[in-house]
Structure 1
Amino acid sequence: MWSTIFRSSVTGKTRWYWRSLFTMQLKSSEFQVLFTDGLNELAETFKKNQYELRIAGGAVRDLLSGKQPEDVDFATTATPDEMKRMFQAAGIRMINNKGEKHGTITARLHNENFEVTTLRVDVQTDGRHAEVEFTTDWQKDAERRDLTINSMFLGLDGTLYDYFKGYEDLQNRKVRFVGSAEQRIQEDYLRILRYFRFYGKVAPKPDEHELQTLEAIRANSSGLAAISGERIWVELKKIVIGHHAAQLLEMMYSLGLARYIGLPSEGNVDEMKRVWQNVKGHSPKAMTILAALCRRSEEIERMDLRLKVSKEEKTLALFLVKYRQDLCKNGDQQDGLKTFTDFILDSRELDTRMKVSELLKYQGEHALLAELGQWTVPRFPISGHDLRKMGITTGKEIGATLQKLRNIWKKSHYQMDKEELLSYVQS
């Protein structure tokens, strides 16, 4: 380990930080599994051309936590042009050139895609986007990243390169910004939400935030107003279904974030906390929790305008706000699930069963939720053809008779067969 002092002046303000390089060797099974034929060939290509290649970002964090990363990103000292020349000379196919302006080249080897990004430094930022320059300095690239636990690199020989005590923070389950929290936030205001997302992912307790971090978030909360709704929604969804979601949402309200990210300004935080307790451990959808903040459907509409949620997400939230009281109150204690299964059978929408499941989670009806999971949708045994054979020919009469028989069938708990039901027509 060695240490030094460095100076940063990305935003025009010169700041000094203490920085240390920590290294160690990783030889875990999760790390070894990464070495497919494709990665071995990629590594050999970079080595042959004398460019460094390391694993970067979230994959390093996952590997150090003993998890198998879902996605693996790579960083390199080679520029995009140098990578293209190198890959072309080696006969390696390149795809998805959209990332090239940001320094990313995607190579395809042995039916695998490998995203490799040139080391960068921010030369100018506006809180949403950054103008970057390429560099060969690993420390400078680490400095521009958001959180210490996301700023580490892992060499393909298993050597960890940690410049900002990310490994120590990961071991202690701490979430901290690299250097100045205020500076990191002002480079990209979405990092406020990323902080809360990773806090829910890493921290063991809901209330161990550093005071200076919270103050930096409060002071810069208005910066989120300029961030697109789509980007906010991606982060917010992950916060809501992560650990400590109720406490984190309450904290976000106390710091003044709600009005900038599409949440109701006077959200029903107490109801949300109640619902969070109900849904824990039952894989709720994000909107099931956020709907609890909304007292009226108009608040769902405003949330959609800001966040651009999907049609399915919006209709689920509207459903929960509309039926969270009435449908559950109408349930018969003796009939148990029947009120809800009748509702599903009467609905013309394909996703009603999913919505009812989320409603049961919302209200903490865990026994009914388990019962619904085992329930098979029964088939109504009567068709219009059956009625026409009995001499009922007009569409209006067929429709009215089918509805009458359907109600009888529902009252029998869906047990009556065709003959029994048709006997009501004959009578």
Structure 2
Amino acid sequence: MPSPSVLDIPELRRLLAVLDGDGEEARVVGGAVRNALLGLPHGDVDVATTALPAEVTRRAEAAGFRALPTGVEHGTVTVLVDHHPFEVTTLREDVETDGRRAVVAFGRDFSHDAQRRDFTINALYARPDGEVVDHVGGLADLALRRVRFIGDAETRIREDYLRILRLFRFTAEYGEGPLDPEALRASIRLRAGLARLSSERVRAELMKLLATRRAPELARILAECGFLDRILGLAPDPHAMAAAASAGADPVLRLAALAVRVREDAGLLAQRLRLSNQEAERLDACAALLEALHGRVASLSVQDWRALAYRRGAGPARDALAVLAARETGEARPDALRPAFAALAEPVPVRPWTGRAVLAHGVPAGPRVGAILARAEELWIAAGFPDDPGQRDAMLAQALAEG
């Protein structure tokens, strides 16, 4: 392992000192080892051990750590060392799989544990002294930036069909060059298995994929090979997603460009993928604006776009603009969108009055205050959000006079 690396985390060193020895062995495994070798942030740290969960718990608590049985039926105990969580899992071998979950038996052989993992680059182990142990050729694949299933690709996929999406995600995040041919052929043959997965698992993997650096390229392959329409239930537009990717690694915006045209699309995706409330609301707000703008884009001025951002919010307006610019079809030509880019480059105006301004003119508290404020706001928007105090006073006076 390089130095410094994940093994230099003091809390991890303390945990390994407790778990490694007295007849048991513990190693860091998976993504933390892979990322350390690539010089990337390590993220979560997983530990594989020959010790059974009860023994892991006993040793952890004897050392003053907190042990939580977060997945004890699968051999996983989360150990908190000074509030730093580490997932510690007993070595396993698959007894039975159904494409979604596995029945496992605990073991003591690290090479057998490696064989049940998905990709070679995810099956690297690091001993406490820093030696990296590779049972499946992961180091060579890591050097080539190649994402390859361990053993037979079809066998690995049949164990868990989510591995199809993980193939694309890991290739997009860590791979260089084309997808592994054998893995791609197996994924295409078994793509119907995606329907057996829970929406929550598919959503988590898809959103991670959409945030990767090679997401546009891999989304195009997913669409061409018939995966995306099965996942989304909508006709995908990978070219638009690729154009929207220039706005940054924003998975929600990329999803909008990929598949959202009207509010019905946003609602379908929210239900089908079990999106979070925040993600669903953002897609819906973007879709609502896309619907409202249909057939009107070419006629909108800078002032119209500023009013739109003020009324609908800067976030939805920028999302809708990014999707329109990505598609560049019909009315959404680059020249038609120049007023929008000019308007949204400016800060969204803030209403200059509150209810106190109306109350100060002797209007009693009640619904009339809100009505007067709304009328003054209409005048202010129509005038182009003037900053001049005199103009603003005149608008409020007019609203008060109209009652």
- Report the TM-score, using the length of structure 2 for normalisation: 0.85
Native 8 Å contact 1:285 1:358 kept in 2: no
For the 8 Å contact 2:92–2:113, the answer to whether it is kept is yes
Are 1:180 and 2:145 an aligned pair?
Answer: no
Q: Distance in 1 between matches of 2:256 and 2:309?
A: 23
Letter in 2 for 1:360: L
2:287 is matched with which residue? 321
- Pairing partner for 2:3 from 18, 28, 37: 28
Does the C-alpha gap of structure 1 residues 372 and 290 become closer, same or farther in structure 2, counting only changes over 3 Å?
Answer: closer
Shift in CA distance, 29/356, structure 1 to aligned 2, threshold 3 Å: same
How big is the shift at 1:209? 1.8
SS at match of 2:71: helix
Instruction: Verify: 1:251 aligned to 2:216, yes or no.
Output: no
Q: Is the Cα contact below 8 Å between 1:221 and 1:257 reproduced in 2?
A: yes
Query: 8 Å contact 2:305–2:339 — kept in the other structure?
Result: no
- Matched with 1:14 is none
Correspondent of 2:373 among 379, 398, 402: 402
The match for 1:300 among 251, 266, 290 is 266
The residue identity in structure 2 corresponding to 1:381 is W
Distance 1:420 1:66 in 2: 62
Q: CA deviation at 1:345?
A: 3.0
Amino acid at match of 1:300: A
Q: For each residue in 1:251-276, what CA deviation from the matched residue of structure 2 results, as whole angstroms up to 9, or x when unmatched?
A: 22332323442331xx142xx41242
Which stretch shifts more, 105-114 or 172-181? 105-114
Contact 2:252 2:283 in 1 (8 A): no
Distance in 2 between the 1:394 and 1:71 partners?
Answer: 55
Identity of aligned residues (%): 29
Task: Report the counterpart of residue 229 of structure 1 in structure 2.
Answer: 199
Give the deviation of 1:357 after TM superposition: 2.7
- 1:184 CA displacement: 0.2
Cα distance per residue 1:364-407 (max 9 Å; x no partner): 47996697476264232253x54455566696765554333212
Shift in Å, 1:322: 3.1
Which residue among 319, 323, 327 is the counterpart of 1:358? 319
CA change 1:48–1:138 in 2 (3 A) is closer
Aligned residue in 2 for 1:3? none
1:339 to 304, 311, 332: 304
Q: Which residue of 2 aligns with 1:80?
A: 53
State the alpha-carbon separation in 2 of the partners of residues 133 and 376 from structure 1.
Answer: 59
The answer to which of 138-147 and 395-404 deviates more is 395-404
How far apart are residue 130 of structure 1 and its match? 0.5
Q: Is the 8 A contact 2:229 2:236 kept in 1?
A: no
Note if contact 1:93-1:109 (Cα within 8 Å) is conserved in structure 2. yes
Corresponding residue number in structure 2 for 1:66: 39
2:244 equivalent to 1:278 = yes
User: Where do residues 7-406 of structure 1 align in structure 2 (5 Å cutoff)?
Assistant: 26-31=1-6, 33-34=8-9, 36=10, 38-88=11-61, 90-205=62-177, 208-264=178-234, 267-269=235-237, 272-324=238-290, 326-327=292-293, 330=296, 336=302, 338-347=303-312, 352-364=313-325, 372=344, 375=347, 377-381=349-353, 383=355, 385-387=356-358, 390=361, 399-406=370-377
Structure with the higher fraction of residues in helix conformation? 2
Flag the 1:367–1:161 CA change in 2: closer, same or farther, 3 A. Answer: farther
Deviates more, 1:75-84 or 1:300-309: 300-309
| Separation in 2, partners of 1:366, 1:198 | 37
Q: CA deviation at 1:80?
A: 1.2
Relative to structure 1, the CA distance from residue 209 to residue 275 in structure 2 (aligned partners, 3 Å threshold; closer, same or farther) is closer
Q: Deviations over 1:31-53 (max 9, x none)?
A: 4532x1x2232222224423111
Structure 1 length as normaliser, TM-score?
A: 0.81
Closer, same or farther in 2 for the Cα pair 1:32/1:395, shift >3 Å? closer
Any stretches of 5+ residues in structure 1 without a counterpart?
1-25
Q: Which amino acid in 1 is paired with 2:103?
A: E
In structure 2, distance between residues paired with 1:377 and 1:33: 50
* 1:419 has 2:393 as partner: yes
Q: Whole-Å Cα distance in 2 between the matches of residues 341 and 367 of structure 1?
A: 9
Pick 1 or 2: higher relative contact order, CA cutoff 8 A, min separation 6: 1
Letter in 2 for 1:353: A
Q: Which is further off, 177-186 or 250-259?
A: 250-259
| Distance of aligned partners of 1:198 and 1:370 in 2 relative to their CA distance in 1, 3 Å threshold | farther
Give the alignment's Cα RMSD to 1 decimal. Answer: 3.0
Displacement of 1:331: 6.3
> 2:104 is paired with a residue of what secondary structure?
strand
